[in-house]
Amino acid sequence: MAHPWTLLATVAHGSARSVEELVVVAVAGVLGIVIATVLGRRSGRRSLEQRLTALATRMGVDIPEDEPGGVEAALTHLEQVTDRAAEAVAEASSDAIRLRRALDTMPQGVIVCDENGEVVFRNARAAGLMGGRHGDALAAQAVVDLLASAWSTGMAERTLDLYGPPRRTLTVRTQLIDDGRRTLGVIAIIDDVSERRRLDEVRRDFVANVSHELKTPMGALGLLAETLVAEEDRDIAQRLASRIHTEAFRVSRIIDDLLDLSRIEAEESPPREPVLVSLVMAEAMERVRSASDQREVKIDLTEPDQPLSVLGDRRQLVSALYNLLDNAVKYSPEGGTVRFYAEQSSGQVSIVVEDGGVGIPSRDLERIFERFYRVDQGRSRDTGGTGLGLSIVRHVAANHQGKVEVESREGEGSTFRFVVPLQPLGA
């Protein structure tokens, strides 16, 4: 079976060639009529009739033997051939346009060269990838080089890393095409694999981070248990048991957060139902109450003045707000206060968590929503953080067509805004 690229290019090339041949046929028919008129004046009628009949036969029309002859009959057949050729030309043109439009919808760039090396087709995606920027000029040169290589090798492939901005990765494949008898040209396929490459890197980093995060507490658990077995002092044994409990709880938190994040990422379109903002705020506050009481951090809850509703998944929304509150409590000084309130504006509701804690350095603001990213590694582990909470918040906001914003200054606290569209009550 022929390669899809070969078939694709053959169809495109063949359509163009068919149109050219049909045009030749049509022109020949018209010329035949003109020649007939001229010859009718200069030649004998018998000779003219024979020539017109022969011309009609060469153009694919067999004149029945029992049909009355004559110049008029021959001209009539030539006119029929011309009409058929015109219809075929119109149909072939429609096929060529349909094929071009179909190729323009492809996510890959497609470039087709004829047997002389001239570009006869370039779809919209290829034109976009070969723009006027420096990186695109490099890609265009690489395509030209690979097209030239395909003439001698039959096939060529290369991966291009364009550092942008934005950074992109392109794969370019070229292949010689023929119809089994002669070379028709070369086709180039340009595929932007930037997102695929980014996801692969994220997946590798995620596996590495999970392994690292679990290795630390599991290693500690092993050492503590080994020490506990040989310890005879009751007080020391009790402290070791307490440490084992803390590390086990930390492993449990990491696993729970990983499961939550995995579920939230999988539910890009979670079940939608009207949810009262005050309800999810109260539930999130209740979940974090034990942590706030332990650190003696007061949560100042201000519910909306009027009932506000959003369309979404209550469990996901509560999880996002809980993680924002949990972070605020952990990084606030003991005896501090966390403000928790909602604001309505332009068809959206902003649920705000504001603390007066240690704050976030400006260099870290763009990365705090990454999995396992911590501003202060040591302090985060002391507070029991897993580095997954803000990643969960970001995914929940995205699942609800919203966003999460942060304003922070080191040493002065942080303000997080969880923004989602409002759902009119009763809608």
Q: Report the pLDDT averaged over residues 166-173.
A: 82
Do residues 166 and 191 touch, judged by C-beta distance below 8 A? Answer: no
In a domain? residue 110: no
End residue of a domain, out of 90, 105, 120: 105
In a domain, 282, yes or no: yes
Mean pLDDT to the nearest integer, 253-272: 73
Question: At how many degrees (to 10) do helices 4-42 and 45-58 cross?
Answer: 180
Beta bridge partners of 188: 111, 174
Q: Point out the domain boundary residue: 83, 105, 127.
A: 105
In this structure, the chain runs to a length of: 427
Three-state secondary-structure class, residue 59: coil
**Rounded distance, CA 338 to CA 334, Å?**
11
What residue has token string 């579920």?
A: 263
Residue 313's CATH number: 3.30.565.10
Please check whether residue 19 lies inside any domain of the structure: yes
Taking 60 as the threshold, does the pLDDT of residue 329 lie above it? yes
Sign for the CA dihedral angle at 204, 209, 215, 221 comes to negative
The residue among 105, 136, 153 that closes a domain is: 105
CA–CA dist 149, 410 (Å, integer): 57
Residue 409 inside a domain? The answer is yes
Measure the CA–CA gap between 235 and 217, rounded to whole angstroms.
Answer: 22
**60 belongs to a structural domain:** yes
DSSP summary character for residue 387: S
* pLDDT tier for residue 419 given thresholds of 50, 70 and 90: very high
Contact 177, 169 (CB under 8 A): no
How many structural domains does the chain have? 2
Domain enclosing residue 407, as ranges: 267-427
- Please report whether residue 243 resides in a domain: no
What is the C-alpha separation between 232 and 235, in angstroms, rounded? 9
In order, the DSSP letters of 337-354 are EEEEEEEEETTEEEEEEE
**1-55 residue pLDDT tens:** 444 444 344 444 444 444 445 455 555 555 555 555 555 554 455 566 666 666 6
Residue 85 is assigned to a structural domain of this protein: yes
Average pLDDT, stretch 98-110? Answer: 79
- Residue 327 in any domain: the answer is yes
Q: Is the peptide bond before 107 cis (omega within 30 degrees of 0)?
A: no
Return d(Cα 394, Cα 99) in angstroms, integer: 42
Closest to 415 measured CA to CA, from 373, 366, 365, 352: 352
